[in-house]
Amino acid sequence: MMELLRLLVLGMALWATTAVADTNLDIPFPYNCSTKTTCSSLRLKLPNENEEFNAQLVNSSANNNSTLLFDLTNKRGNKLALSISAIEGKRFRVIVEEHDEHRYKLEHSLEKEPNLVKLTIVETSNISVTAQTESGSKIIVKTTPLSIEFYQDNALTSIFEGNRIIFEDTEESEAFTFSVQFPNANRLMGLHEHADNLKLRHTADFSIDPYRLRNTDYGTTEYSLNTTKSMYGSIPVIYGFGNKTSSGIFHHNAAEQWIDINNNRHSAYFMVDGGRLDLFVLLGPSLPETVRQYVDLTGKPHLPQLWALGYHQCRWAYNTTGDVMDTIGNFDTYDFPLDVLWLDIEYTSERKWFTWNASSFPDPVKLLNWVDAQGHRKLVPISDPHIKIDPAYKVYNDLLNGGWFVNNSDGLSPFVGECWPGNSSWVDYLNPEARDYYAQLHLYENFPSTSALGGYWNDMNEPTLFDNLYERTFPFDLVHHGGVKHRDVHNIYGMLQTMSTHKGLMTRDNGTLRPFILSRAYFAGSQRYANKWSGDNWGDFEDLRYSVPMALTSNLVGLPFYGADIPGFFGTATEELLVRWYQIGIWLPFFRAHAAQGSPRREPFRFGNKTQAILRKNMQLRYKHLPYWYTLFYENTVTGDPILRPLLYQYPEDPVGYDLDDEFLIGTDILTTSVYESNATSVRIYFPGQSDKWVLINGNSTHLYNGGTWANIPIDITFTPAFYRAGSIIPRKPRVLRSTADIKNDPLELHIVLDDHQKAKGRLYSDDFESFKYQNEKEYLYYSLAYDDATSTLTSSPIDTDNSPGNLTVQIDRVVIYTSDNADQMTVRKVEIDNTGKKLNTINFINSSIKL
Ligand SMILES: *[C@@H]1O[C@H](CO)[C@@H](O)[C@H](O)[C@H]1NC(C)=O
Ligand SMILES: *[C@@H]1O[C@H](CO)[C@@H](O)[C@H](O)[C@H]1NC(C)=O
Ligand SMILES: *[C@@H]1O[C@H](CO)[C@@H](O)[C@H](O)[C@H]1NC(C)=O
Ligand SMILES: *[C@@H]1O[C@H](CO)[C@@H](O)[C@H](O)[C@H]1NC(C)=O
Ligand SMILES: *[C@@H]1O[C@H](CO)[C@@H](O)[C@H](O)[C@H]1NC(C)=O
Ligand SMILES: *[C@@H]1O[C@H](CO)[C@@H](O)[C@H](O)[C@H]1NC(C)=O
Ligand SMILES: *[C@@H]1O[C@H](CO)[C@@H](O)[C@H](O)[C@H]1NC(C)=O
Ligand SMILES: *[C@@H]1O[C@H](CO)[C@@H](O)[C@H](O)[C@H]1NC(C)=O
Ligand SMILES: *[C@@H]1O[C@H](CO)[C@@H](O)[C@H](O)[C@H]1NC(C)=O
Ligand SMILES: *[C@@H]1O[C@H](CO)[C@@H](O)[C@H](O)[C@H]1NC(C)=O
Ligand SMILES: *[C@@H]1O[C@H](CO)[C@@H](O)[C@H](O)[C@H]1NC(C)=O
Ligand SMILES: *[C@@H]1O[C@H](CO)[C@@H](O)[C@H](O)[C@H]1NC(C)=O
């Protein structure tokens, strides 16, 4: 996390030797492939006749005729069992393990066990077995040697390559390998989280390390860029994008893994430290379908409360009640919108979570009531999984007495390591009793607070410990509940913390408020509980640049609510960079500023009037687009579709956009980019879609650009260009006040951008912005909107038929119509609506129209 304090801890270590005898902070880390045997030895193993497996079909009627079972044997006499199941929604599941099934079976990542569908053998021969489903999915299992070809609608999507299977099965190692090829792909994407470009790089020539997935804290420094090194989160998903068909895989396994990417043949070779080979094969055939096939397995997020989409102000740290009140007060004095102020580790008593520092936060409930009175704003405190060893700390005693800490390799004594509070033990979230205990700590009676404590920030949950000997995280031989080795569950530890925190918040508020949890560690499925930021970045243009592909990849792998610390956690961003970072920050789903300890204060109101004016205008642009964001967030909860989209997702037929990951779409209708260098006077941007047109919304003029062209957009420091797609209707809030709460009931302003046919379409979702009624009682409004300029008619029609509007309404006060009079310019005309009786969900407007 944070440099200065760590140096302090190190400084203390020099004289307080007993407390830190087991720390090794000088050892460089993270380790690389050459220093980890799973990678260094397995990477060199090429296909070898003695190792490759032959397959023999042993059962074709398992699981109601959904599963084919094969015995695998090789010349060395190794024996394995292979099962291939057909899953609804154009997917297969491939499991390889020893016959006695002794390997750890991962839990909690899948939202539910997927439904199987019938898989019928259509042909068998000496060398292959062919089977297919009723939805056009087909496998050809080649038996000597094994390989599995996957087809959708008779197009080959991927090949599970049996000649690279190695299974180690000894006391020391349960490592294994496998390889998948995407023969029709042009590029591979995925393997979140890496500070790298959208397109996965070629690693198979050994010039760089394989992509590594092992949740890891970088610790004293910012994370590295342009690298395959592991980061805080792991989502083992790869998409093979092709200009005709796309497909993907999800490796359902939470152990450390290294993945060599070969971009010449579009294949991925996995080297995995333990657990089962449990591979979901996603047959597409489009990229959007492939993404949905993945997200459907691990689940969609629930909607965030509206305030979570507002602006978040963080630093390490707002140390006192006075600092919190002054800071929030200044946001109002200087007229900046703000929804959340964050509390870093200093609010506690001695870094004991679920305690307040009695001298700096003497009356937290009074403070929270005050925060609530300032526009229903929120505080969000940090809360980590390590627990200070202190016999006077009730939480510690309860966990110790319950047997709810992670144990040493003896399986009996709690592991002790060093983190923020000094010597600590770690909650064993694999244990359901420990999760329940931890959950109830969030109740108002157990941690004095109110619902103005809007959620929690689960940090250091890779988990981090201050000991480089183990790459600042747990040794692999620690033992969890049920005798599970840490090695097998490492990457899911942080997710289990957020699962427990989520339950705590659901219980705290009787299920009436949607929990908000920010997590640094992440695994496939975490999106059901938490959102994420990219961790400890640095204040320079390069970090700003990489935050965009990181957010795009994250959105493609089911984790839409992602952002990076503005304007870089470490370092002191120049004022120019800070401005640029806010200008891109408003277009990332999670919009938070943060600052390391000791960095100069840099809240927006601390700058000169000119910079303030720029920041204010840009932050307001975020708030004005809240109805558009909220609609996209809702749609993501239903479909799993990403909120931020790389061009190739939306325009797969347009090759110019394939490798562009510095510009991106928000939904389908807003295009933006960032300014990635100092003193820029223009930004070069590509406009996707031969038949689309794009209008500049925040520059000097509403210039119109044709799809399929590049343009240099002149800029100054006041704005980073953003564009609306012609033919869209963007719902906006016309005014911005203190917070989202202040404007949530305001009428809307629709921005209608006419296409060449003088028409436009959009969608609008609305609900109570905070509860689960939208899920439980289907109480929400969801309309498609259409405008036809020939008749000046705006029409709305409900998209769903089974929702109930309750007493919800939205009102449209004004439309802003963008018309193109000449080739490269649009004129903007405002029309005030006499909205008496014309609210959406009033009898006059449902499924009907108004004449403007
Ligand atoms: C891997 O780490 C070793 C030991 O620290 C170092 O000598 C080597 O250069 C590193 N290799 C790469 C590819 O970074
Ligand atoms: C095949 O699987 C089915 C269902 O699990 C089982 O009933 C049957 O005995 C199995 N047949 C063989 C030959 O193993
Ligand atoms: C097979 O289908 C039957 C009837 O639909 C069901 O009761 C049974 O649980 C299924 N068995 C398996 C192994 O899925
Ligand atoms: C599986 O297929 C066999 C052969 O077609 C058939 O006899 C059997 O009833 C099927 N079992 C189920 C549960 O559908
Ligand atoms: C990223 O790393 C590769 C080598 O792995 C190097 O060729 C390339 O120039 C680097 N790109 C940047 C922007 O530093
Ligand atoms: C589509 O992909 C094929 C290879 O898969 C390639 O030969 C062709 O050039 C690609 N077309 C475009 C427009 O990128
Ligand atoms: C907040 O508290 C920490 C730890 O006591 C201290 O190092 C830091 O200087 C304080 N920050 C401010 C702004 O007072
Ligand atoms: C939750 O329910 C309990 C019991 O019905 C009630 O006492 C409490 O006030 C409720 N809390 C909230 C936040 O609604
Ligand atoms: C900045 O704006 C404030 C409020 O409008 C004004 O009082 C002050 O004079 C301005 N400062 C400068 C340097 O322009
Ligand atoms: C940007 O302009 C400033 C002021 O002219 C100059 O000091 C700085 O070096 C320039 N930065 C770059 C990257 O050119
Ligand atoms: C916008 O217009 C102002 C005033 O005419 C001018 O000073 C500025 O350079 C223009 N900015 C851009 C990016 O064209
Ligand atoms: C809608 O109804 C709920 C109770 O179901 C009530 O709390 C709320 O105030 C009502 N809202 C409006 C705008 O009438």
Q: Is residue 558 part of a domain?
A: no
Q: Is the CB of 59 under 6 A from ligand 4?
A: no
Which amino acid is located at 620 in the chain?
Q
Q: What is the dihedral of CA 36, 41, 46, 47, to 10 degrees?
A: -100
472: containing domain:
340-533
116 three-state secondary structure: strand
Does residue 229 sit in the same domain as residue 150?
yes
Does residue 278 sit in the same domain as residue 360?
no
Helix (H) or strand (E) holding 620: helix 609-624
CA of 844 to the centre of ligand 12 (A): 21
Nearest to 114 by CA among 81, 150, 85: 85
pLDDT at 717: 98
| Rounded Cα–Cα distance for residues 685 and 695 (Å) | 13
Mean per-residue pLDDT, 133-147:
97
Does residue 252 sit in the same domain as residue 385?
no
Whether residue 348 is predicted with pLDDT greater than 60 in this model: the reply is yes
Residues lining ligand 10, CB < 6 A? 678-679
What number does the ligand 4 atom closest to the CA of 64 have?
A: 13
CA of 262 to the centre of ligand 1 (A): 21
Does residue 381 sit in the same domain as residue 448?
yes
CA of 32 to the centre of ligand 1 (A): 6
CATH code for the domain in which residue 217 is found: 2.60.40.1760
Does residue 363 sit in the same domain as residue 456?
yes
* 142 contacts 156 by C-beta, under 8 angstroms: no
Q: Is residue 540 part of a domain?
A: no
Does residue 87 sit in the same domain as residue 194?
yes
What number does the ligand 6 atom closest to the CA of 243 have?
A: 1
Does residue 263 sit in the same domain as residue 388?
no
Q: What is the mean pLDDT of the chain?
A: 94
Does residue 286 sit in the same domain as residue 367?
no
| DSSP-assigned letter for residue 196 | S
CA of 64 to the centre of ligand 3 (A): 6
In tens, the pLDDT along 74-85 reads 999 999 999 999
pLDDT at 836: 60
Question: Over 461-524, what HEC string results?
Answer: CCCCCCCHHHCCCCCCCCEEHHHEEHHHHHHHHHHHHHHHHHHHHHHHCCCCCCCCEEECCEEC
pTM, two decimal places: 0.95
Active-site residue, 459 included = yes
CA of 306 to the centre of ligand 12 (A): 17
CA of 551 to the centre of ligand 5 (A): 20
* 665 contacts 798 by C-beta, under 8 angstroms: no
Q: Is residue 552 part of a domain?
A: no
Q: Per-residue confidence at 825, pLDDT binned at 50, 70, 90?
A: very high
Q: Is the CB of 62 under 6 A from ligand 2?
A: yes
Q: Which is higher by pLDDT, 103 or 19?
A: 103
Cα 528 to the center of its chain, rounded Å = 10
Nearest residue by C-alpha to atom 4 in ligand 10: 679
Give the ligand whose atoms come closest to the C-alpha of residue 714.
11
Q: Is the CB of 510 under 6 A from ligand 8?
A: yes
Residues lining ligand 6, CB < 6 A? 184, 186, 242-243, 655
Mean per-residue pLDDT, 755-761:
97
- Among the options 196, 209, 344, 459, which is catalytic? 459
Does residue 392 sit in the same domain as residue 274?
no
What number does the ligand 2 atom closest to the CA of 60 have?
A: 1
CATH code for the domain in which residue 518 is found: 3.20.20.80
Q: Is residue 569 part of a domain?
A: no
pLDDT at 15: 27
Q: Is residue 12 part of a domain?
A: yes
Nearest residue by C-alpha to atom 10 in ligand 6: 243
Q: Percent of the chain at pLDDT above 90? A: 90
| Rounded Cα–Cα distance for residues 612 and 476 (Å) | 49
Does residue 112 sit in the same domain as residue 228?
yes
CA of 301 to the centre of ligand 12 (A): 26
Q: Is the CB of 512 under 6 A from ligand 2?
A: no
Q: Is residue 388 part of a domain?
A: yes
What number does the ligand 4 atom closest to the CA of 65 have?
A: 1
Which amino acid is located at 390 in the chain?
D
Does residue 281 sit in the same domain as residue 384?
no
Give the ligand whose atoms come closest to the C-alpha of residue 360.
7
Q: Is residue 605 part of a domain?
A: no
Whether residue 675 is predicted with pLDDT greater than 60 in this model: the reply is yes
| Rounded Cα–Cα distance for residues 738 and 373 (Å) | 11
Among the three residues 267, 298, 329, which one is the final residue of a domain in this structure?
298
Mean per-residue pLDDT, 53-78:
96
- Among the options 536, 565, 641, 742, which is catalytic? 536
Number of domains in the chain: 3
Active-site residue, 536 included = yes
In tens, the pLDDT along 487-528 reads 999 999 999 999 999 999 999 999 999 999 999 999 999 999
Mean per-residue pLDDT, 607-629:
98
Whether residue 5 is predicted with pLDDT greater than 50 in this model: the reply is no
Q: Is residue 588 part of a domain?
A: no
Does residue 21 sit in the same domain as residue 63?
no
Nearest residue by C-alpha to atom 5 in ligand 10: 679
Among the three residues 486, 517, 533, which one is the final residue of a domain in this structure?
533
